[in-house]
Amino acid sequence: MEEIIKSIVLGICSGGIYALIAVSYVVIYKSTRVFPFSQAAVLIIGAYIMWYCTIAWHIPIWLGFVITCAGGAILGMFVERAFMRPLVGQPILAPIVVTLSLMLFLRGVGILMGKGDVQGFGESFLPVGAWQFGFLHLPKIQIYAFLLCAVIIAALILFYQKTRTGLGMRVVHEDHVVAQNLGINVKRIFQYSWIISCIIASIAGMLLGNIQGVGLALDANGIVAIAAVLFGGLESFSGAIVAGLTIGILQMLTIAYIAPLLPGETTMMVPFVFLLLVLFIKPYGLFGLVRIERL
């Protein structure tokens, strides 16, 4: 029983970052209906920018945070303008192949940035240490990362609900043609989506880099988050949050109960078995939109 509660609490903590990554996928999918596999590699880039700022160049942490966000924004803008916009209107395969190749391209950039090594933040920029509640041993770094994720997701949802641009993004999600007819600049909205998503992904990347060490292995988190997005439904923020936490809990339960029984990287494999089950049973996810097609 203790073990289960421990796994669930720790799972929720690590699931916060999965939820954040899942949200970064959802932002783009919602408006452009292209699934951005490349966001998995943006995590690496974000983590390395933060690493260079704080460790290599000794820039204050808050400024490093701002620079990382700016780097993510520029990356998103560039990717959308250079690679995604020419493919608007192409069959679904073209953007998928581009985002997949982009994932490997950014991975290559990551190798060059890290010179092939795993780098650690010498000292964490989030508080270290742990709180002790009875038998629960909660690392502070996880809690703060979770809180930061929650704040960012809340801010994003407020942005979608309260601002004019957010309203435009919701309209674009409904229908591109209708949005165009209403005078919304759909291309601009696509660009905003990529920028927001890349900023979110780089923030998630630097949080993960702080916890796991900055290296190429970070994109595994992004790929696991794909399972979360699908479970939650590709178009839903609430789905992404619920599913991100679920995948976090699932991974912790895996470590506690399945990993002793099976060899190898079970934490990577179990989310994908889960994804296959989701696809068999409820392909459009918990809150996904089932689009009814007509001829």
Partner 1 sequence: MNINRPCGTFDRNYFQAKELYRTPLRKTLLALFIIAMYVIPFVVGEYGISILTPICAFTIGMLGLQIITGYAGQISIGHAAFMGIGMYTVAILQKYFGFSFWLALPFSGLVAMAVGIIFGIPALRMKGLYLAFATLAAHFVIVYVISNWRSVTNGTDGMYMSRPGVLFGIDFTDDRNYYFLALTVTAIMTYLATNLARTKLGRALVAVRDNDIAAELMGINVGTTKVLAFGIGCFFAGVSGAIGGAYYEYVNVEWFGLDDSIWYLGFLVVGGFGSIFGAIAGAVVWKVMDELSTLVTPLTEALLGGAAFYASAAFSLLFYSLIIITFLVFEPRGISHRWEMIKRSYRLHPFPY
Interface ranges with partner 1 (CB under 8 A): 35, 82-83, 86-87, 90, 92-94, 96-98, 100-105, 107-109, 111-112, 114-116, 223, 226-227, 230, 234, 262-265, 268-269, 272-273, 275-276, 279-280, 283-284, 293-295
CB of 220 to partner 1, least distance (A): 10
Measured CA to CA, the distance from residue 33 to residue 190 in angstroms comes to 10
Please give the backbone phi and psi of residue 138, each rounded to the nearest 5 degrees, phi first.
-105, 115
CB of 227 to partner 1, least distance (A): 7
Residues β-bridged to residue 119: 214
Q: Residue 139's beta-bridge partner residues? A: 130
Q: Closest distance between partner 1 and the C-beta of residue 195, in Å?
A: 19
Cβ–Cβ < 8 Å for 24, 204: yes
Which residue, 127 or 283, has its beta carbon nearer to partner 1?
283
Given the complex with partner 1, which of 81 and 170 has the nearer CB atom?
A: 81
Crossing angle of helices 39-51 and 2-32, in 10° steps, is 110
Question: Which residues on adjacent β-strands are paired with residue 132?
Answer: 137
Q: The tokens of 191 are what?
A: 């660009």
From the number of C-beta atoms within 10 Å of its C-beta (0-12, 13-18, 19+), residue 292 rates as exposed
Question: Least distance from C-beta 224 to partner 1, angstroms?
Answer: 10
**Closer residue to partner 1 in complex, CB, 142/236:** 236
Identify which of residues 51 and 146 has a Cβ nearer to partner 1 in the complex: 51
Nearer to partner 1, 69 or 173 (CB): 173
As beta bridge partners, residue 138 has 131
Nearest distance from C-beta of residue 49 to partner 1, angstroms:
17
Residue number with CB closer to partner 1 (8 or 100) = 100
- Token pair for 192: 């905003």
Question: Considering beta carbons, is residue 13 or 21 the nearer one to partner 1?
Answer: 21
The residues near 119 (Cβ < 8 Å, ≥ 6 apart) are: 48, 51, 55, 213, 214, 215
Report the nearest approach of partner 1 to the CB of residue 39 (Å): 14
Cα(10)–Cα(4) distance, integer angstroms? 10
Pinpoint the alpha helices (H) of 123-185.
140-162, 164-174, 176-181
Q: Which two tokens stand for residue 196?
A: 């927001």
Q: CB 246 → partner 1: shortest distance, Å?
A: 16
